[in-house]
Amino acid sequence: MRRTLYVLAALVATTLGAGSSPATAQSKAVILSTTTSTQDSGLLDVLVPLFEKTTGYTVKTVSVGTGQALALAARGEADVALVHAPALEKQYVADGKMLNRRLVMYNDFVIIGPAEDPAKIKGQAKAADALRRIAETQSRFVSRGDKSGTHALELALWKQAGVEPKGSWYLESGQGMGQTLGIANERAAYTLTDRATFLAFQQRVKLPILVEKDRALLNVYSVMEVNPANGPRVNSAGGKAFADFMVSADTQAAIKAFGVDKYGQPLFVPIAGKTEEEIGG
Amino acid sequence: MELIWDGVRRAVGLLIGLDREVLAITWLSLQVAATSTGLALIVGIPLGTLIALARFPARALVISLVNTGMGLPPVVVGLFVSIFLWRSGPLGFLELLYTPTAIVIAQLVIAAPIVTGLTLAAVQQIPPQFRLQMEAIGASRAQLLWLLVREARLPMLAAVMAGFGGVVSEIGASMMVGGNIRGQTRVLTTATVMETGKGNFDVAIALSLILLAVTFLVNYLLTVLQQRRRPS
């Protein structure tokens, strides 16, 4: 009994020691608020160590939905944001919460669904037309429903289609892309997914791609620095260093090469320095 | 079923191959859970003993609060600890959010009521005659307390196991205040959720099995300790 207590006391001491030492190194820590897709695709596991090695900063990656990522940044709880919801991002920039929005990369979204395709959307050129047919035939559709970038795009597409999605055919999972794909698969439903996550789940999700390559389905990621006015402890130098890193030539080359060995195709297309008009977004 | 076997094979492979990342995650899980349980004992045992022995107004209310606290939802604890530790929060100046210490704090809030509640029950089940006898022999107040705690040590080890089991398996608080940051705050439970999200179900199963094995080992050691010296 007494020996157990000694062991516990030693553990208490080491953990508290480990936790309190970064206080001095804190200015060297950058908090990155980003989306689940950048983490779940494995891209950050490649880029973050590269950034840490070249700059000496340590990165604390908080990967949540785009809505939450921007909300945290606006409170000054992060130093830099890497997200994918252009309309929402522009709103935050206009409000002065986020600074210096720069495009980093894109991939694209696809609409997948059961092979029998009850709403007959296969090959539709416009994603909005496909969604309208899904609503008209009341075919089951799983929405992320979590204010993520994917959810934001889905809502914009419903608006374009002139449909307010509601009813027993419209399921809101409130979870990440992976879980949502799983639900769509089990319930033989349509859903909107980014291609990177879809490729990662190809073995478990048997739903084919039905609609792709519409311009409206482009998934554009940007990096933004957090306005230091948002909170008392924003590390703006660190945030800027990370943003600069994301658009640098070396990083852009790493993004282009990412995923080729595993999926036979790149998961993201680097676009630093371009404008939205140039990429057709 | 095939998937579960894949997971088992993967778990064995990760452990035998001494995968450094998995070992580090396992070690951090253990370290954090042991620290928070240890701190919960320091808070919970005296508090539980005090509530068990003392008579004061609103005692029933305090006991119900402790009992409710034994079932605190980890996500609720995680949310409130996050808000306190935010840069804009009252304890923001400590810059503790997304560190192992933040997880320890949240887990302490989860485990302390469990240890307090079970200690309270353990001390209360000692027959009142025991206390009277010891006082009659002339035990001082401090000696009496020590004897009572000794007498209740078996159920108290159960309190240790319940507290440890509660924190090593919780996910909501670790995710919110830790952030599941690779190499810093990633623990077995948050890594399992993340691997599931990535579609790496075999790795997720492997991590779950490691968590179960670790929890079993710790409980086994505590049980051996508990059963070794039975009071005669």
| Same domain (yes/no): A118, A206 | yes
**Environment class of residue B142 by beta-carbon count within 10 Å: exposed (0-12), middle (13-18) or buried (19+)?**
exposed
ipTM attached to this prediction: 0.72
Q: How many CA atoms lie within 13 A of B22 on its CB side?
A: 22
pLDDT score, position A14: 54
Q: How confident is the model at residue A12 (pLDDT cuts 50, 70, 90)?
A: low
Residue at A249 is within a domain: yes
Rounded to whole angstroms, the Cα distance separating A37 from A177 reads 8
Which chain B residues are Cβ-neighbours of A3 within 8 angstroms? none
Type of residue found at B67: N
> What are B6-34's pLDDT values in tens digits?
878 888 887 777 788 889 999 999 999 99
pLDDT at B200 over 90: no
The mean pLDDT value of chain B amounts to 89
Helix (H, G, I), strand (E, B) or coil at A263: helix
| Same domain (yes/no): A272, A202 | no
The mean pLDDT value of chain A amounts to 88
Q: How confident is the model at residue A2 (pLDDT cuts 50, 70, 90)?
A: low
Residue B100 has its nearest CB partner, among A18, A31, A75, at A18
- B225 reaches A (C-beta below 8 A): yes
- A9 reaches B (C-beta below 8 A): yes
Residue at A24 is within a domain: no
* Global confidence as pTM: 0.79
**Environment class of residue B56 by beta-carbon count within 10 Å: exposed (0-12), middle (13-18) or buried (19+)?**
exposed
* Residue A209: domain span: 108-217
- A228 reaches B (C-beta below 8 A): no
Cβ distance of A42 and B87 shorter than 8 Å:
no
**Residue found under tokens 């419209």:** A170
Residue at A157 is within a domain: yes
Q: How confident is the model at residue B153 (pLDDT cuts 50, 70, 90)?
A: confident
> What are A57-112's pLDDT values in tens digits?
999 999 888 888 999 999 999 999 999 999 899 999 999 999 999 999 999 999 99
| Same domain (yes/no): A241, A260 | yes
Cα B210 to Cα A26, B7, B37, B103, B184: the distances in Å are 32, 11, 20, 20, 19
> What are A34-51's pLDDT values in tens digits?
988 888 788 999 999 999
| Same domain (yes/no): A124, A208 | yes
**Environment class of residue A147 by beta-carbon count within 10 Å: exposed (0-12), middle (13-18) or buried (19+)?**
buried
pLDDT score, position A18: 47
Domains belonging to chain B, first-starting first, are: 2-228 (1.10.3720.10)
Residue at A16 is within a domain: no
pLDDT score, position B230: 57
pLDDT score, position A20: 42
> What are B54-105's pLDDT values in tens digits?
889 999 999 999 999 999 999 999 999 999 998 888 998 888 988 999 999 9
Q: Are the beta carbons of B199 and A200 closer than 8 angstroms?
A: yes
Instruction: Provide the pairing of β-strand A170-172 with A141-143.
Output: parallel
Residue at A11 is within a domain: no
pLDDT score, position A174: 87
Residue at A144 is within a domain: yes
CATH of the domain at A134: 3.40.190.10
| Same domain (yes/no): A198, A133 | yes
Q: Which of A181, A196, A217 is the last residue of a domain?
A: A217
Q: Are the beta carbons of A166 and A188 closer than 8 angstroms?
A: no
Report CA dihedral (B10, B11, B16, B20) to the nearest 10 degrees.
100
With CA atoms as reference, the chain A residue closest to B95 would be A23
With CA atoms as reference, the chain B residue closest to A24 would be B95
| Same domain (yes/no): A225, A265 | yes
Residue at A172 is within a domain: yes
- A76 reaches B (C-beta below 8 A): yes
Q: Between B72 and B156, where is the model more confident?
A: B72
| Same domain (yes/no): A112, A203 | yes
| Same domain (yes/no): A148, A229 | no
Q: Which of A116-120, B172-176, B191-195, B227-231 has the lowest mean pLDDT?
A: B227-231
Give me the residues of B, 90-129, that contact A with CB < 8 A. 92-102, 104
pLDDT at B188 over 70: yes
Q: How many domains does chain A have?
A: 2
pLDDT score, position A22: 39
Residue at A14 is within a domain: no
Rounded to whole angstroms, the Cα distance separating A189 from A21 reads 50
Rounded to whole angstroms, the Cα distance separating A21 from A37 reads 32
| Same domain (yes/no): A162, A35 | no
- A1 reaches B (C-beta below 8 A): yes
Q: How confident is the model at residue B113 (pLDDT cuts 50, 70, 90)?
A: very high
| Same domain (yes/no): A267, A166 | no
Q: How confident is the model at residue B187 (pLDDT cuts 50, 70, 90)?
A: very high
| Same domain (yes/no): A248, A123 | no
Phi then psi for residue A6, to 5 deg, are: -60, -45
> Distance from B14 to chain A by nearest Cα, in Å?
19
Q: Determine the average pLDDT of the residues in A127-155.
A: 94
